[in-house]
Structure 1
């Protein structure tokens, strides 16, 4: 088999805890801007904001809207959500920046560092470059390169997002390993010729999530990124 030269990572959910991070930032924001709204479940707020994520990108995937950075899409979704909750919108941008400072999972920094000993490591994320840069600085993520979605002008799971990322790195798809906790992401990557690694993240969707399991025979299935680092050195 062709040697793997690069590990490309899904970020939201695989590398960082988007739900916990957004819930925590939302609570701080509410304390500052709507202190009387103690009725709001910030975990539910995070879930509802995330639920707008895929629909916001669909017009772009279908060619009905020109490419637009994820920061803009997140803010549009947030304004809708604040209206649904009858919350003030004048400080929306402050809360929108919460996506830039999401906390890493406990194994992420050490795991990516271990994987980096064997191959190039970079995000293959729908995030924009400034978002991913800020996140990396805040969380200490040791990427070799940061390739935001605007580099390839496409959003996963369209084939262009995977193929153009490989091309930017001057690699063939089968030299790239897609690392994700989402089976649909891995299926799309494999359809483009990338190798695949499934990482269990049983708390991505909060404490009530019951499991995180592969639904296909991916090249690697691991409990954390440290384990993947060991396997890639073998």
Structure 2
């Protein structure tokens, strides 16, 4: 007899949605809304969202800001396909970047003022892994560590409301990160800003940390503007 497996509820929901995709949906189809899945599966909204995150990490689901979850294209994706997605979602992405530009510079200031040695060490380790992922040419890992870097700064701000607001904004940025880091220039443009933010926080220079984060997000917005008008032959 095989032992009884105690499967976490999020994994059960992830598996059930995966089965639903395999049985009823094809690439590009919109999946049921979170609330509909909550009612169908008898679970909370947070569980469904986490299941979508796991499926997105596996490349099965694509989250489009303001539009919901879709079955991802399984045929593989070029830099130009990523550009196409950025063009399609430009308006929602600009809204998200605008909110981030209001929130994250304040978070960087607060972390520089309030962080302890353990916080700084954790952020530094994430940054070093981010740089290694760039050297390895791993866009998926680059995207994940970029999210970790920014989320750690917010979490170390000491502001619980800021953390809560950021969690909502972050959900709309996951697919954006996975797409934008398929464009080589965007990867290069993230290296120095992350280093500058790190150095300001290490120096406990709150004003400089705020300025560096704002400059970084201004560059993210600039990169998006460039990406959505770049000719196909210029995509790396």
Which one has a bigger Cα radius of gyration?
2
TM range (shorter): under 0.3
Higher-strand-fraction structure = 1
Structure with more of its chain in helix, by fraction: 2
TM-score, normalising length: structure 2: 0.26
TM-score by length of 1: 0.26
